[in-house]
Amino acid sequence: MKKFFVTVFAAMMGFFLSLGIILFVGLIMMASTIASSDTKPTLADNTVLHIKLNGTVTEQAQENPLHEILGDRVTNIAVNQTLDAIRKAAHIDKIKGIYFEGGALAADPASLQEIRKALVEFKKSGKFIYAYADTYTQGAYYLVSTADKVSLNPDGILDWHGLSSQPVFYKELLAKLGVKMQVFKVGTFKSAVEPFINTQMSDANREQVTSFLGSIWNNFVADVAKSRSISADTLQSLADRFMAMQDPAELVKSNMVDTLVYLDGAKATLRQYVGVKEKEKLNMLSPAEVCQLDDPKAKESKNKVAVYYAAGSIVDEVTQGINNEPQIVGIKVVKDMQKLEDDENVKAVVLRINSGGGSAYASEQMWHAIQKLNKKKPVVISMGGMAASGGYYMSSAGQYIFAEPTTLTGSIGIFGLIPDASELLTQKLGLTFDHVSTNKMSDFGATDRPFNAEESALLQKRIEAGYALFLKRVSQGRNKTPEQVDEIGQGRVWTGEQALEIGLVDKLGTLDEAIAYAAQKAGVEKDYQKKEYPESEPWYMALLNKTKSDYYSSQLKETLGEFYEPFMMIKGIRDNNPIQARIPFEPNIK
């Protein structure tokens, strides 16, 4: 027996010793990776900016040194980092050009358009752009169509099919679960509630979606036509043929790509562009690495133009637990606006908004804070992929509004969406409820019954008051009467180029143009530095939050099974402020 325990003890000690060694080595690897991430990359002769077109396009970069350790091949592309890298690459002599690799990219049209404009500007430097991929998604091709040469694997795919929107409707699913949605809204086009009360799009929603899809697609076609010297009519015809299903040779014939080569052939072409021999090393730097290099045209100045990024759903407070999506937290933005107001070195602020809206209450609080800041120093709005509903509410407080032609904006309207789960709770789950009340409406919002007529009337009145306030805020910012705003409001979504025509934005332009304009308004156009806010969350906090979120999600999935997705949808609605200024839940553009 004694020998048995000795053997077991020895085995346990060996296990824990091995585990300790593994953890120790892992910590050393992590520390070395983090340390190396803080070291400036080597800038050799004949360097290339290497942009991998995979993952999702985001507004701000979020660095994570663990990607290298974990071998994560799919990393997100940040608009701010990519734009800075392209701009620096044009100025740094040792960087000879840009190499795009891969093409599985998910992005909103306006973000793609902004990056594409930077690439067109880059070409004025006389440096090359070369692209190769096994597969180009439509958005990725929109970017690489600026290249001097576009190559595709001989067995590859290029997707070119036009745009579509396919909203999902939950009404019948919710009915099976015993849940009904109680809807209160203002706005003929306020279609955010439709997935929960209809089984198909309303005529008004179909009209607005058809309009903004056509506007976005026409921009894509016009830009590609110019870069590839293909007529717009030909590109429309090619889209009708669904080019992803065509023989790659047809893509060469139609001039959508230049050559069909394997990866080794692409690398040989890249070497020719750079001017290095076959056995010489190709020095390629990522956008993150190029951003760490010194910019020869950068200026030091105590005058700052702040670029404040506001991306995600608008919420009153941070949503804890299982939600790991970007958020614009009302109380945080209000505090940050005050800090920018108090900072004497900040001479102007560019508010970069990419949001489909959210809490009407938070939108009003942020509007007030932005307007207050705007009285002390210029606040210029730069719209990203979306600045709609609550996102437009925020924008209306600025002095001047820039948007991309394909930005989705407007959606001036308010709605309330409150689930009635009384049937689910009482009939399907067998719960019973009782009440003791001191007044007629003490049990307002009770979970065992829907709203009665008097309660519904009160909620609808509140929604209408919120819409009237929204109209007032926009009319103040856009120098229109509330009646004029109502005519172009009613919840309707517009693209940036449409919004320019009806006076909801001032100019079609990029973030860089908005920054230059803000500097000019502040009188520091010849002496300023750009400073980004808020600072990115440390990578380890993002990792911890994701781990926590994944744990909660896995536990809920295991517990709820097939009811997990409906539960999450209802929870998301209940967690938000019931009165919302929000675009349709998912524009769902493909």
Q: What is the pLDDT of residues 72-124, one digit of tens each?
A: 455 678 999 999 999 999 999 999 999 999 888 888 999 999 999 999 999 99
Of the candidates 145, 313, 355, 389, the residue annotated as catalytic is 389
How many Å apart are CA 36 and CA 342, to the nearest integer? 36
The verdict on whether 164 is a catalytic residue reads: no
Which pLDDT band holds residue 322 (cuts at 50, 70, 90)? very low
pLDDT for residue 506: 98
Binning the chain into helix, strand and coil, the percentages to the nearest 5 are 50, 20, 30
Q: Please give the radius of gyration of the chain, using alpha carbons only, rounded to the nearest integer.
A: 27
Domain 47-161+242-291: give its CATH superfamily: 2-enoyl-CoA Hydratase; Chain A, domain 1 (3.90.226.10)
pLDDT for residue 68: 47
How many Å apart are CA 145 and CA 263, to the nearest integer? 19
CATH number for the region 304-433+444-582 comes to 3.90.226.10
Coil, strand or helix: which one is 99?
A: strand
pLDDT for residue 300: 86
How many Å apart are CA 110 and CA 586, to the nearest integer? 16
The residues near 537 (Cβ < 8 Å, ≥ 6 apart) are 62
State the average pLDDT over residues 57-82: 69
pLDDT for residue 363: 96
Kindly report the pTM of this predicted structure: 0.84
The residues near 481 (Cβ < 8 Å, ≥ 6 apart) are 475
- pLDDT at residue 163 greater than cutoff 60: yes
pLDDT in tens, 235-278: 999 999 999 999 999 999 999 999 999 999 999 999 999 999 88
CA angle, corner 183, sides to 182 and 185, nearest 5?
Answer: 160
The verdict on whether 40 is a catalytic residue reads: no
Domain ranges of the chain: 47-161+242-291, 304-433+444-582
- Name the region of 508 (left: φ>0; alpha: ψ -120 to 50; beta: rest): beta
- pLDDT at residue 15 greater than cutoff 60: no
pLDDT for residue 116: 97
Least reliable range by pLDDT among 98-107, 367-376, 423-432: 423-432
Same fold, 47-161+242-291 and 304-433+444-582: yes
Of the candidates 88, 180, 185, 190, the residue annotated as catalytic is 190
